[in-house]
Amino acid sequence: MITIAELDDKLVLDNYIKDQRLKGFNEEEIRDQLNEAGWDKALVEEALKSDSAKADCFIEKTDEVSKFSKFSKYLTEEEAVTNSYVIGHYDVLLTNDRVILIKKFPRNVTKIEYEDIELVEYFTDVDWMKLVYSVISGILTLVILIFNVLIFGRLSKALPFLKAILGKAVLGEYSILALVLLVVFGIMFISNIVGFFDSFMGRLRIIPKKQGPKDLVTKLTKDTQDLISFLEIKKKD
């Protein structure tokens, strides 16, 4: 018995194969594209031999988004996706001409020709200065919390013309200036400590000619290693 899901997959494959044939790809090239994308080999072979995939009329696509069609708006008419990866917060598309980096949020798209890639590397760069800044801002936050009355009491006596903001409590025993400083140092502490731990996560860096580097925050997964190997080969071609 053939299930609904199997029919949907077959229809998606038929549509994709027909599109690729119209673009000039031969059967072997289409087979390689689908196998690299992870489609079942038996299903691919069946679809390649299918009369519906060879028909002159176009088969309407279902609402089920295929592995490739959701990226069609980023491609030219001559382009075809040969593989795709999810690397960190990016969808990475490999086409016959270039690599396309699609940041999920905030939405951002970068297209880099293979021949323009100068360097591909993976690195981890721990930002120790963020740890230093977080410790300093954390200490300053604690000092204001603990010694608020002493510090701002003495300042208001030494600078009587600033007594309105130094000595007048507006929330518990904290003056306006004390609250402002607590907020500022608190935000500095949180942002720097988060940045410090984030720096332990590695980066996949792609440096194109005449452009700034593109860093993708990610672990060194198998997909990341495969992508690095592929781009290294392509930039040498």
Q: Tokens in use for 95?
A: 């086409």
DSSP for 126-147, written as a single string: --HHHHHHHHHHHHHHHHHHHH
Over pLDDT 70: what percentage of the chain?
83
Between 120 and 172, the more confident residue is 120
Over pLDDT 90: what percentage of the chain?
43
- pTM of the entire predicted model: 0.57
Q: Mean pLDDT across the stretch 164-169?
A: 66
Q: Which residues contact 31 (CB under 8 A, 6 or more apart)?
A: 44, 45, 48
Q: Mean pLDDT across the stretch 116-133?
A: 95
Taking the CA of residue 21 as centre, how many other CA atoms within 13 Å lie in the half-sphere pointing to its CB? 18
CA 61 to chain centre: 29
Q: How far apart are CA 180 and CA 158, in angstroms?
A: 20
Q: What's the chain's average pLDDT?
A: 82
Q: Mean pLDDT across the stretch 197-205?
A: 93
Which pLDDT does position 59 carry in this prediction?
A: 39
Most confident stretch, 5-14, 133-142, 210-219: 133-142
54, pLDDT greater than 60 = no
